[in-house]
Structure 1
């Protein structure tokens, strides 16, 4: 299992662009559907915990999945595997891009990459919302989830509140509404 985990997270780290949230659909497909190390609800909970933890989201997801699946050794293997490709690629790419950063083709390629990364992040958000049950259940549950979402978005975009404070407040609202 540790070899499968290393290969999985190495590939995730190698082929995923756009940051940790862009990796979520790929990790979910592999962890939940292919290897069946956990169900989708548990995976969604791990992603939520990873998002609230300090550090890069992809590394946090790898650590949580690794630990949940194979203990401390799994956490170390998964974290090393997901970070290693980026480390190696960024060293090489940094050296190359520094030399060709002003070339028209390089500048143009980044416009295409920005568009696909935006799409991946939106897809991950939609899938995450569906997995949390926010799009299912009673009308009260759906509306209360929509209001928490909207309030969080407004606090982030217009009032520039810190994400951690929004998560804490949303958690407290969840406790008040659902217990």
Structure 2
């Protein structure tokens, strides 16, 4: 029962405090899932985020569904999704009329402008963490190549993020397979020499 309560509290917080939707919620979900409740480690969170980006639908809802399922199966997925969606949905319905009447207010516009840099910093910190992990696992050279190419694909020709992620998943698979075969090819003669000595 405690785990269900943690799912409710954790994803209710992401739903209520995730101002700006979509990408701005990802650092909040990472905090709850990785740092606070330790439902997964940073590497698994990064893999989940990459795969979620290749599927249709809101990214935060997909993340909530996967994490809830990982923690408590189908019931956990349902609890996480509802906890993430319901608080902000109810608040939106209650406050919609009130906020709509002040939509041209300079105060409201100032609030939106003031929150935007915070969201940018959170996303930058998350991006830096992913780049640091990539550097450790694939080396500085390949990390830089992948980062530059992905930037050009996303910003230069405006390719859909899901397609870019799919391309890089295939590229990473090919690169990993090549490295493994290269290492095995280098180790094979050593193993053969040892077998001869035995």
Q: TM-score range by the shorter chain?
A: 0.7 to 0.9
User: Which residue in the other structure is 2:83 paired with?
Assistant: 81
Deviation at 1:137, TM superposition (A): 4.4
Deviation at 1:77, TM superposition (A): 0.5
Which stretch shifts more, 11-20 or 151-160?
11-20
Please tell me whether the aligned partners of residues 22 and 124 of structure 1 are also in contact (alpha carbons under 8 angstroms): no
Matching residue within 9, 12, 19 for 2:11: 9
Change (3 A) 1:167 1:174: same
User: Which residue in the other structure is 2:155 paired with?
Assistant: 157
Q: Deviations over 1:98-118 (max 9, x none)?
A: 211112212222211222222
User: Which residue in the other structure is 2:189 paired with?
Assistant: none
- For 1:102-121, what aligned pairs fall within 5 Å after superposition? 102-121=104-123
Based on CA coordinates, which of the two structures has the bigger radius of gyration? 2
Extract unaligned runs of 5+ from structure 2: 178-198
Q: TM-score, normalised by structure 1?
A: 0.88
Change (3 A) 1:165 1:38: closer
Deviation at 1:46, TM superposition (A): 1.7
> C-alpha distance in 2, partners of 1:77/1:134?
32
Please tell me whether the aligned partners of residues 54 and 163 of structure 2 are also in contact (alpha carbons under 8 angstroms): no
Matching residue within 42, 64, 67 for 2:66: 64
Q: How many residues align?
A: 175
User: Which residue in the other structure is 1:136 paired with?
Assistant: 136
> C-alpha distance in 2, partners of 1:33/1:47?
16
> C-alpha distance in 1, partners of 2:144/2:45?
22
Deviation at 1:6, TM superposition (A): 1.2
Please tell me whether the aligned partners of residues 53 and 165 of structure 2 are also in contact (alpha carbons under 8 angstroms): no
Runs (4 or more) in structure 1 with deviation over 6 Å come to none
Please tell me whether the aligned partners of residues 68 and 77 of structure 2 are also in contact (alpha carbons under 8 angstroms): yes
Change (3 A) 1:67 1:137: closer
Change (3 A) 1:163 1:39: closer
> C-alpha distance in 2, partners of 1:99/1:67?
40
> C-alpha distance in 2, partners of 1:137/1:164?
22
Q: Deviations over 1:38-95 (max 9, x none)?
A: 2222222222222222111111111110011111111111011111122112223321
Matching residue within 144, 147, 151 for 2:145: 147
